């Protein structure tokens, strides 16, 4: 009687099963768990430390999931991608083409995406229980759709994007410490790339993978909202996510079909269009908020 299980046959498990295995590995990784926990805890501490527990600088809170979950997910996804080739715990997912294994890890990036969604829910609950000052949501200066786009881009999409960049890194960079190097480069590029925010051309920051929209409160209780169209910037960032996933699939020579080429070119064209439109539409200059009473009391 044969002892071979269905998941160890030549055909291998289905893509859904492979993605499920990778998702569980992602969710159980200690570094990811640390980043996810820090995302939720630090956000709660931001509210607790605000004056009289009134949430402030809400649109600047997006740095929390981007930093704690997005960057740790980059490292974890890179390690998972590389380990599908060699690690013993990944043997169940080994059958099949490289592109199929890559796609399984891409689908597993829904795990950090879920953390970003949970973070956004946490922010909405906090602001429902402890209502912020009216100027915190910038209504009247930008629409509710634009505000939601900032939260989605800075939370769920930043977490997803970090993980997909990790998949891309795991496929193309083979040298030791590659994920750490990419992480450092991303941090430096984002920090330096935001230099134009206080200049005559703040829209020049919009090419970045993570975008700052609010300065945080100044000592006089005011804050600055930076120029640009947040909805179109969100679409641009989603294109960057798609480019990372397609770029990782491109590493497998057998997967370089006409459809993949057309898809990649289409995403690049869309990214350029959305980037250009995000720079030229929406809020047309930096705008300073009225004084936030909660912040002015500091």
- Tens-place pLDDT, residues 137-191: 888 888 999 999 999 999 999 999 999 999 999 999 999 999 999 999 999 999 9
**52 occurs within a structural domain:** yes
pLDDT score, position 12: 53
pLDDT score, position 50: 64
**177 occurs within a structural domain:** yes
**153 occurs within a structural domain:** yes
pLDDT score, position 6: 40
Residues 285-289, mean pLDDT to the nearest whole number: 92
Listed range (50-54, 134-138, 276-280) with the worst mean pLDDT: 50-54
Q: Which of 25, 167, 21 is nearest to 94 (CA)?
A: 21
**Contact criterion met (CB below 8 Å) for 113 and 32:** no
Percent of the chain clearing pLDDT 70 (strictly above): 89
> Would you say residue 1 has pLDDT above 60?
no
pLDDT grade for 86, boundaries at 50, 70 and 90: low
Cα separation, 130 vs 124, whole angstroms: 10
| SS3 state at 96 | coil
- The encoded tokens of residue 207 equal 């090419």
Residues 126-130, mean pLDDT to the nearest whole number: 92
**241 occurs within a structural domain:** no
pLDDT score, position 51: 63
Burial of 160: CB neighbours in 10 Å, binned 0-12, 13-18, 19+: buried
> Would you say residue 240 has pLDDT above 90?
yes
Residues 95-105, mean pLDDT to the nearest whole number: 87
Cα separation, 263 vs 241, whole angstroms: 13
CA distances, 228 to each of 58, 159, 222, 280 (Å) = 18, 22, 19, 7
Please say whether the dihedral angle defined by the alpha carbons of residues 285, 289, 295 and 298, taken in this order, is positive or negative.
positive
**6 occurs within a structural domain:** no
Q: Which of 88, 78, 149 is nearest to 108 (CA)?
A: 78
Beta-carbon contacts of 224 under 8 Å, excluding residues fewer than 6 positions away, are 197, 198, 214, 215, 218, 286, 287, 288, 289
Summarize pLDDT for 35-78 with one digit per residue, the tens.
999 999 999 998 877 666 788 899 999 999 999 999 999 999 99
Q: Which domain holds residue 39?
A: 14-204
pLDDT grade for 238, boundaries at 50, 70 and 90: very high
Q: Average pLDDT over the chain, rounded to whole?
A: 90
Residues 274-293, mean pLDDT to the nearest whole number: 92
Residues 85-109, mean pLDDT to the nearest whole number: 74
Cα separation, 257 vs 253, whole angstroms: 9
> Would you say residue 95 has pLDDT above 70?
no
pTM value is 0.91
**Contact criterion met (CB below 8 Å) for 183 and 83:** no
How many structural domains compose the chain?
1
219-249: buried (b, 16+ CB within 10 Å) or exposed (e) per residue?
A: eebbbbbbbbbbbbbbbbbbbbbbbbbbbbb
Most confident of 23-32, 77-86, 91-100, 288-297: 23-32
**73 occurs within a structural domain:** yes
> Would you say residue 87 has pLDDT above 60?
no
**100 occurs within a structural domain:** yes
């Amino acid at each position: 009687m044969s002892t071979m299980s269905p998941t160890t046959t030549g055909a291998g498990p289905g893509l859904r099963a492979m993605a499920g295995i990778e998702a569980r590995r992602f969710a159980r990784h200690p570094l990811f768990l640390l980043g996810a926990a820090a995302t939720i805890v630090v956000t709660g501490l931001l509210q607790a430390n605000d004056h009289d527990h009134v949430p402030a600088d809400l649109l600047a809170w997006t740095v929390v999931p981007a930093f704690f979950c997005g960057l740790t997910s980059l490292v974890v996804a890179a390690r998972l991608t590389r380990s599908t080739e060699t690690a013993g715990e990944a043997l169940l997912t080994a059958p099949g083409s490289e592109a199929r294994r890559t796609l399984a890890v891409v689908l597993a990036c829904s795990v950090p995406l879920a953390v970003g969604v949970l973070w956004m829910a946490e922010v909405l609950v906090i602001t429902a229980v402890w209502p912020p000052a009216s100027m915190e949501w910038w209504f009247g200066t930008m629409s509710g759709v634009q505000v939601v786009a900032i939260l989605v881009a800075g939370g769920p999409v930043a977490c997803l994007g970090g993980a997909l960049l990790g998949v891309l890194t795991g496929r193309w960079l083979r040298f030791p410490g590659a994920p750490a190097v990419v992480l450092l480069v991303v941090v430096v590029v984002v920090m330096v790339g935001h230099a134009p925010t206080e200049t005559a051309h703040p829209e020049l920051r919009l090419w970045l993978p993570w975008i700052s929209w609010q300065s945080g409160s100044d000592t006089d209780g005011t804050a600055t909202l930076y120029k640009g169209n947040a909805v179109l910037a969100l679409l641009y960032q989603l294109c960057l996510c798609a480019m990372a996933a397609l770029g990782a699939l491109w590493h497998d020579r057998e997967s370089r079909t006409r459809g993949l080429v057309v898809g990649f070119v289409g995403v690049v064209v869309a990214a350029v269009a959305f980037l250009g439109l995000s720079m030229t539409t929406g809020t047309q200059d930096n705008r300073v908020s009225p004084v936030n009473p909660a912040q002015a009391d500091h």
